[in-house]
Structure 1
Amino acid sequence: MLSARSLFQEILDNDESFRLFCSVAASGESQGGWENARIAALVPRSERDLASKITRHGADEDKHGRIFDALLKKRGLTPVPVPPDTDYTMLLERHGIGLAHHRLRSDRPLTVPEIVTYLAHSRVTEQRAAEQMELLHRHFADHPDLGRAVKTISHDEDNHLAYCQEELLRFAYAGHGHAIQRTLRECALAEIRIHRDVSLAVMARMGRILGWPKARTALLAAGIHAVYAYERAAGWRRMVTLRMPERRNALGGPAAPAPESA
């Protein structure tokens, strides 16, 4: 029976598919760490209290990248280059979602509208990350190799999502509500399209590595398209809703250490 657990177990059991999975994940997390570090450095004086939380966010992302690298090292594997069509973070940036990298490389402080753009982009992508890690946590929390890593990253992603919602609500109360909703909608609709494309690219490569028959590959592709159709029709709305989270000030303290040994 084809299920999320059996599918990921198959990827986990093969060294080459596991290398690709961890390499793609580590690259995206490390890129997120760099972006957050640059944003923290460019936060305007009026929002300096936010800088420490953005720094913590970036530290968590860097930690996640090290965790995936540690999982590879534990199996005696090295990372592989990330294929461009599977590079979720760079594809988002290339499509104008979030703050452009050339802007982050400058020394000019960010404006409040740019901070709002960053938070809206993060709120959407952290929704995806939290859901994906919750799925892995549900199925692999007790796994001897993955369990500790999955628990750590899932907890962090929940914190990131809570932090983004709390900060966006603060800006909404300060008069940025219309801009926030507009940006959230734009980000969500772009994200679901890019997530579909990246999912198709990753599954196609996994299929070639694992020797899946064409019928299975076609079934998985159909499932990815079905998820996109649902998200395009209504599912994107979960990414733009703002509710005060139960976890308040989720990034107000230091980052927890990484389980470097995975």
Structure 2
Amino acid sequence: MLSAKSLFQEILDDDESFRLFCSIAASGESQGGWENGRIAALVPESQRELAPRIVRHGADEDKHGRIFNALLKKRGLRPAEVPGETDYTMLLESNGIGLAHGRLKREEPLSERDIITYLAHSRVTEQRASEQMRLLCRYFADHPDIGRAVRMISNDEDNHLAYCHEELLRFARAGHGRTIQRTLRECALAEIRVYRDVSLAVMAHMGEVLRWPRAKAAVLAAGIHAMYAYERLVGWRRMVSLAPPERRDALGGPAVAEAEYA
């Protein structure tokens, strides 16, 4: 029977598919770490109190990248080259979502509007990350090789999502509500499209590595298209809602060292 658990297990059991999975994940996390580091350095004076939280966010992302690379090393594997069509972070940027790398490379302070754009982009993408890691936790939290890493990353992603809710609500109270909602909607609709395309690309590469029969590949592709149709119709709304998080000041302390997962 084809299920999310059986699919992940198949990818986990094969060295080459595991290598590709961890390499894609590590690349995305490392890019996120760099982006947050640059945003923290360019925060406008009016929002300087946010800088330590953005630094913590970036440190967590860097940590996740190192964790995925450590999982590869543990199995004696080297990182694989990440196909461009599977690069979720860069594809979002090419669709005009978030702050462009060209902007972040300049030594020019960001505006409050830029910070709202960053937080809205993060709120949407952290929703996706939190859901994906919770799914992995459901099936592999007790796995002897990846269980501890999955639990740590999942906890961090929940913290990141809580932080985005809290800060966006703060901006909303300051009178930016309409801008936030418009930006969130634009980000969500673009993200679900990019996520569909990246998912199709990743599954195509996994299918080649694992030599899936055409029928299996077709079923998986159909499932991805069906999920996109649902998200395009109503599912995107979960990415734009804002509510006070149960975890308050979730990024108020130092990042937890990745060595703790091993």
TM-score by length of 2: 0.99
SS at match of 1:142: coil
Code of the aligned partner of 1:185: R
The reply on whether 1:53 has 2:76 as its aligned counterpart is no
Note the 1:64-79 alignment, pairs <5 A: 64-79=64-79
Q: Which residue of 1 aligns with 2:118?
A: 118
Per the alignment, residue 181 of structure 2 pairs with: 181
3-state SS in 1 of match to 2:245: coil
* Matched residue, 1:82: 82
**Where do 1:21-170 residues align within 5 Å?**
21-170=21-170
User: Does the CA-based 8 Å contact 2:152-2:261 persist in structure 1?
Assistant: no
Q: CA deviation at 1:260?
A: 6.9
Cα distance change on mapping 1:4 and 1:83 into 2, 3 Å: same
* Equivalent position of 2:218 in the other structure: 218
Shift, 1:32, TM fit: 0.1
State whether residues 123 and 239 of structure 1, in contact with CA within 8 Å, keep that contact through their aligned partners in structure 2: yes
- In 2, distance between residues paired with 1:89 and 1:194? 9
Contact 1:19 1:79 in 2 (8 A): yes
**Residues 28-58 of structure 1: per-residue CA shift (max 9 Å, x gap):** 0000000000000000111111000000000
Contact 1:149/1:259 (<8 A) preserved: no
- 1:131 shift after superposition: 0.1
Q: Secondary structure at the match of 2:258?
A: coil
Mapped pair 1:235 → 2:219:
no
Aligned length: 262
Percent identical pairs in the alignment equals 76
**How far apart are 1:169 and its partner, in Å?**
0.2
Residue type at the aligned position of 1:152: M
Root-mean-square deviation (Å): 0.7
Q: Secondary structure at the match of 2:259?
A: coil
Q: Is the 8 A contact 1:71 1:261 kept in 2?
A: no
Deviation track 1:158-201 (CA, whole Å, cap 9, x = no partner) reads: 00000000000000000000000000000000000000000000
In 2, are the aligned partners of 1:148 and 1:259 still within 8 Å (CA)?
Answer: no
Are residues 261 and 70 of structure 1, via their aligned partners in 2, closer, same or farther at CA, if it must alter by over 3 Å?
farther
8 Å Cα contact 2:149/2:261 also seen in 1: no
1:157 match: secondary structure: helix
1:18 aligned onto 2:18 = yes
Q: Distance in 2 between matches of 1:242 and 1:105?
A: 30
Q: Partner letter of residue 216 of structure 1?
A: K
CA distance 1:186–1:247, change in 2 (3 Å): same
Deviation at 1:259, TM superposition (A): 3.0
**Contact 1:74 1:261 (C-alpha < 8 Å) held by counterparts:** no
Which amino acid letter does the alignment assign opposite residue 248 of structure 1? R
Query: How far 1:112 moved relative to its partner?
Result: 0.2
- Kept in 2: contact 1:160–1:251 (CA 8 A): yes
Q: Distance in 1 between matches of 2:259 and 2:184?
A: 33
Shift of 1:261: 6.8
Structure 2: gaps of 5 or more residues = none
Q: Secondary structure at the match of 1:46?
A: helix
Task: Mark the CA change 1:201 to 1:86 in structure 2 (over 3 Å): closer, same or farther.
Answer: same
Partner of 1:204: 204
Q: Distance in 1 between matches of 2:64 and 2:180?
A: 28
Separation in structure 2 between the aligned mates of residue 172 and residue 108 of structure 1, nearest angstrom = 25
Query: Is 1:163–1:251's contact at 8 Å kept on the other side of the alignment?
Result: yes
**Where do 5+ consecutive residues of structure 1 fail to align?**
none
Match of 2:27, SS state, is helix
1:107 partner SS = coil
Give distance in 2, aligned partners of 1:259 and 1:127.
26
TM-score (norm 1): 0.99
- Classify the secondary structure of the residue corresponding to 1:259: helix
Post-superposition, which runs of at least 4 consecutive aligned residues in structure 1 deviate over 6 A?
A: none
2:193 is paired with a residue of what secondary structure? helix
2 CA distance for matches of 1:257 and 1:148?
13
